[in-house]
Structure 1
Amino acid sequence: MNPIVLFIIAITCVVSYVGLNNINIFEKYKFNVSAINNRKEYIRLISSAFLHADFMHLLFNMLSLYFFQGAVTMYFGTVGFIIIYFGSLILGNLFSLMIYKNQPWYSAIGASGAVSGIIFASIAMAPNEISVNFLPGWIFGTLYFGYSVYMMLNPKQWDNLGHSAHLGGAFFGLVYSVVMHPQLALSNVYFLGVMSLPLAYLAYQIFVKKKIG
């Protein structure tokens, strides 16, 4: 595994563990609309990705990152991986900030936006070469986004995960892939299209139906 990827996974696990055992750190660095807009605590746009709701949430995100990082580092290199990971993370959280701007209480945590960008970028390059639990990568990606969209449109009181960040993160990963390797990405447009269906439905609910925000 690329050392940078390993470092990101390691530091995310350490910070998540600390956050789960220290409520002050968890509250200080989680994504929160009021803290970002009113107190200008922009560090939360990045720091929230290193916090997770529980060990299952952390494991799911880090395993997803592990399965999909190989294709990204192969086709885009270490620098490309860093650009996609943090670009998707930031754009995903900015998207959340935009749609929840009128809900100052809204908070979220998790690396969902960053991982979404990595998943889309890897599927754009190698949709069938990746498998997760015997599922082709693009099918896993479709289920991953389908679940996130369902949870976002049917919020639970106990759910504090950053589902909305998936849309912005996936968008960044997709656009970066098309810009860097347009022919290869477009040759896999069928797989990307299927995986985009849940996100397209989410965009419809947000921008047309106005059900969120």
Structure 2
Amino acid sequence: DPAADDRYAAALDIATRLDAWDAERRVDVALEALGACTDRERELSTLSVGQRYRVRLACLLGARHDILLLDEPTNHLDAGGLDFLTRRLREHDGGLALVSHDRALLRDVADRFLDLDPTRDGKARSYAGGYDAWQTARRRERERWEQDHEEQQEEHRRLRDAAARARDRLSTGWRPDKGTGKHQRQSRAPGVVQALKRQQDALEAHRIDVPEPPPEFRWPDLGVRRGTA
């Protein structure tokens, strides 16, 4: 059956590419390195949360998937497990996407960051170049955002104050000194009104399009060591 032969050839190609015949050994290596239970007869339900996590992670690392999606993969790992995970992720030649608060892991394995923190236009940011480049670019963008917001607010305050002064001049400040003729007083009034209108138009035309940056939470570096006992 030619169709069956084609399906077999395709399956064989995938198995060869994934090195499926060595999968059990790779899982055993990962179980040992991650400090997970190596007793294949034991049910997952009898293991602790941390042990179940390590077993699942070992199976994932041993499978050689084309794409790895990991959410906080350093949870429940000791120092040896962290080192093994880091090494395996760096050796992975497929796609890798992970969510992690482990800065050491991010420095070691990540070369592009998708930052979901608030931005001035409400859009996520993608940064290339590794952890330090991400931090530098993120800090500079935040500084520009804060500066642009402050400059815009300062300009709005200036225009608002100018309009207020123009209103004051219209009501009291433009009155001429004693002895000034009625004709002179009347001739100056239109100019004061026009000045007020210009200031009001400028204030209304000034758009506030740079939102206020949200507060930043800065946690002290407590020097916590990686891994758990």
Question: What TM-score, normalized to structure 2?
Answer: 0.26
Which structure is higher in helix share?
Answer: 1
Q: Which has the higher contact order (CA 8 A, sep 6+)?
A: 1
From the CA coordinates, give the structure whose radius of gyration is larger: 2
Which structure is higher in strand share?
Answer: 2
Question: What TM-score, normalized to structure 1?
Answer: 0.28
